[in-house]
Amino acid sequence: MPEGDTVWNTARVLNRALAGRRLTASDFRVPSLATESLAGWTVTESAARGKHLLLRTRETQDGRALTLHSHLRMDGAWRVYATGERWAGRPAHLIRVVLRTAENVAVGYHLHELVLIPTEREDDLVGHLGPDLLGPDWDPAEAVRRIEAAPDREIGEALLDQRNLAGIGNLYKCELLFLRGVDPWTPVRDVPDLPGMADLAHRLLASNRGRWLQTTTGSLRKTEANYVYGRRAQPCRRCGTPIAKHAPDGETAAERITYWCPRCQPGPGPAGSGT
């Protein structure tokens, strides 16, 4: 699942290409929006809210404001091309929306939850989210309060719940828990220093804004960028113990796979693992 910094970066790319520009054409390739058109509307802003993208537009004559909402999930992406440039991002059958200006074309591939709503109703879609780790509303005390409201919940699941704090995906979940020395299956009530964990989560995401490589080790080499994520059976960078990997029964999606070091993160481990 995309991390909050990936969505933040995507919003910034769209903002640079479209903000302040008039849309000359739009092409929605999903049934629910097939008859909609934003031609003639002006893009006012592209913003991220947790893992949600909000492309805000305004109609020139009557001032109506509409927001195009999209979610990347695991496989969605926006790409920006210069007008006349070949679209080389992904296969054409994955295109869900095309937005054109005189200078640029923004193409959305395999987007999810694509909805066009009045801007004043954005909270209908994102109002349930917790404090945004990369947003102006970031409030670590509120994030901790929400996590602590379910003391029996496993901390790994609590961190992924966007209603607690918005922006953490599986990579940061695994890396954050390693850096704090916490087993991912530890009940929230037994996790020491939740405020420190929230602060570290904010610093990790903020440090990677503006670049696509997500590093938690400080190295900008892809093979050295992370401590545990994606490193099953490789030696822990701290103690040399093989990194463990666990996916819940029947789950293969990357957002449900957990990586951790059994030695650096002692605890209960996944149910039935004997870890």
Tokens of 111: 């987007």
Asked if residues 36 and 91 have their Cβ atoms less than 8 Å apart, the reply is: no
Q: Catalytic: which of 21, 90, 153, 256? A: 256
Host H or E run for residue 200:
helix 194-207
d(CA 210, CA 31): 34
Q: Is 245 exposed, middle or buried (0-12, 13-18, 19+ CB in 10 A)?
A: middle
Q: Catalytic: which of 3, 122, 154, 175? A: 3
Q: Is 242 an active-site residue?
A: no
CA distances from 203 to 5, 18, 30, 58, 246 (A): 11, 29, 37, 34, 26
Host H or E run for residue 126:
helix 123-126
d(CA 19, CA 173): 32
CA distances from 181 to 63, 103, 150, 219, 249 (A): 52, 49, 21, 20, 25
Q: Is 145 an active-site residue?
A: no
d(CA 176, CA 184): 10
Q: Catalytic: which of 49, 51, 96, 231? A: 51
Q: Is 2 an active-site residue?
A: yes
Active site residue ranges:
2-3, 51, 256
